[in-house]
Amino acid sequence: MDFFDICENWSRDQIENEQVVRLKKSITQAMKAPFYAKLYKDAGLSADTIKSPQDIQKFPYISKEDLRDNYPNKLACVPVSEFVRMHCSSGTTGSPVAICYTKKDIENWASLMARGMYMTGIRKEDTFQNMSGYGLFTGGLGIHYGAEHLGCMTIPAGAGNTKRQIKLIKDFNVSVVHVLPSYAMHVAQQVQLEGTDPKTLPLRIALVGAEPYTDETRKRIEDILDIKVYNSFGMSEMNGPGVGMECQEQYGMHIWEDSYIIEIIDPETGLLLPEGEVGELVMTTLGREGMPVLRYRTHDLTRIIPGDCACGRKHKRIDRITGRSDDMFIMKGVNIYPMQIEQVLMAFPEVGQNYLIQLEKEGLKETLRVKVEVREENFVEDMRVLRALQDRISRRLHDEILITPVIDLVQANSLPVSEGKAKRVIDLRNN
């Protein structure tokens, strides 16, 4: 028996039966916090309301605001002395959202993380380098504990210092990395600049997540480094990474439904959407004791992929996150998501690894400017060739987003590189 196949091989019936048991417990546990107690009692709800996983739909949603209002630990459902760790979500505005974990929560989280890693083919014999920031961000310690739980020799490289990252990969024969998509592209570029063929690195797998990216970007990272890239999804409110991961089919991320309930709703109306339709992901923790989070509106946009996965696992899959409902910007009356732009850009072989979207306004005139890095070998082309490339990118973007952007072609490696989550859009319209 494989190490992790206990819940992985469950049938739908087994998953749903366990969900009912755990959901009831989670509700009882959550109601130890005054916030949930009041919210549910006022609506006449309790653990007894739950007879099937679908009964969760009778419960109200909670939002990031609710978590903020209860900062730092008013949502504690155990004595605070039982907490052994806290992390914060990486929101850039407003007061932070803090999540506190008991010892058992940390162990469960590590085991979920390890289960996902195992699913992608990572084994204890692998050497694992975690290239995401440690500290309050869950992508550091969260991934780290998972890798150790699986038994991998784990290198806490943290974010940044690209030269050292590359040296560590070479010196310790690192076979697996966890890296943010924007940083993965940067590392690959640096390896090339050092004169090493990135394909000769000992890497075989990268877990890539923590921010949206397109399939085009995945293919690029896979091609440049000659590795497999698996999409990895999570958020602090749901522990952190390890919530969902792609299996070797690379078609959607399995959500570990013994530990989470997922729903997709219409972000406008709040109504549940049928499987297959894109909407906002709503998530519920099952079994977290320190700070259960129930029916949480994540703002992440995705869909549940209908049907069974070829790998045989019955845990539902969600599609690549196309963005957050709050990532969308409006330009000349058109709703645009940064990932629509990335998808177009990364399909051009001449385009390099980085881009930046800038929203500008002069008087009443709005301009969408896209700064695009061009590969070194293409940047030396003569003016006419570059102009033609500019036009082609602009036209393809117009087909996708219905407005004509201004394209600035810039040299490879000239746009800012973020060590954490990339800031893809700069809005200068209100300056």
Nearest distance from C-beta of residue 138 to ligand AMP, angstroms:
5
* Closer residue to ligand AMP (CB): 141 or 191: 141
Q: Angle at Cα 300 formed by Cα 297 and Cα 303, nearest 5°?
A: 105
Q: Is 401 near ligand AMP (CB under 6 A)?
A: no
Minimal distance, residue 121 CB to ligand AMP, in Å: 18
Residue 286 or 321: the one with the smaller Cβ distance to ligand AMP is 321
Amino acid letter for position 47: A
Question: Of the listed pieces 196-204, 209-217, 370-378, 390-398, which binds ligand AMP according to CB under 6 A?
Answer: 209-217
Q: Residue 1 CB, nearest distance to ligand AMP (Å)?
A: 29
Q: Could you tell me the smallest distance in angstroms from the CB atom of residue 84 to ligand AMP?
A: 19
Provide DSSP, 303-321. Answer: -EEPS--TT---S-EE---
Site for ligand AMP in 136-175 (CB under 6 A): 137-138
The DSSP-derived string for 160-180 is --HHHHHHHHHHTT--EEEE-
Strands (E), 259-312: 260-265, 279-285, 296-302, 304-305
Contact of 301 with 279, CB cutoff 8 Å: yes
Q: Which is nearer to Zn ion, 247 or 357 (CB)?
A: 247
Pairwise CA distance, residues 69 & 369, whole Å: 37
Q: Is 311 in the site for Zn ion (CB under 5 A)?
A: yes
Among the listed ranges 59-67, 104-112, 231-239, 266-274, the one in contact with ligand AMP (CB under 6 A) is: 231-239
Contacts 24+ apart (CB under 8 A), 276-284: 276/303, 276/304, 276/305, 276/306, 277/303, 278/302, 278/303, 278/319, 278/322, 279/303, 280/325, 281/318, 281/321, 282/61, 283/235, 283/237, 283/238, 283/243, 284/23, 284/26, 284/56, 284/260
Q: Which stretch binds ligand AMP (CB under 6 A): 6-14, 205-213, 264-272, 373-381?
A: 205-213
The answer to whether 62 contacts Zn ion (rule: CB under 5 A) is no
158: left (phi over 0), alpha (psi -120 to 50) or beta: left
Tokens of 219: 């293919």
User: Would you state the structure tokens that stand for residue 372, as one six-digit string?
Assistant: 């695009």
CB of 235 to ligand AMP, least distance (A): 3
| Alpha helix positions (H), 4-155 | 5-8, 12-30, 34-42, 64-69, 103-119, 138-150
- Told to check if 89 binds ligand AMP by CB under 6 A, we report yes
The size of the interface with ligand AMP (CB under 6 A), counted in residues, is 19
Report yes or no: 235 and 281 within 8 Å, Cβ to Cβ.
Answer: no
Residue 309 interacting with Zn ion (CB under 5 A): yes
Binding region for Zn ion (CB under 5 A) out of 187-195, 205-213, 305-313, 327-335: 305-313
Question: Residues 256-295 vs ligand AMP: string with x where CB under 6 A?
Answer: ----------------------------------------
Q: Residue 90 or 162: which CB sits closer to ligand AMP?
A: 90
Asked if residue 356 lies in contact with residue 379, where contact means CB atoms within 8 angstroms, the answer is no
Contact between 341 and Zn ion per CB under 5 A? no
19, 120, 132, 231: residue in contact with ligand AMP (rule CB under 6 A): 231
Of the candidate residues 8, 66, 211, 246, the single one contacting ligand AMP (CB under 6 A): 211
Residues that bind Zn ion (CB under 5 A): 247, 249, 309, 311, 313
Footprint of ligand AMP on this chain (CB under 6 A)?
A: 89-90, 137-138, 209-212, 231-236, 240, 298, 300, 321, 324
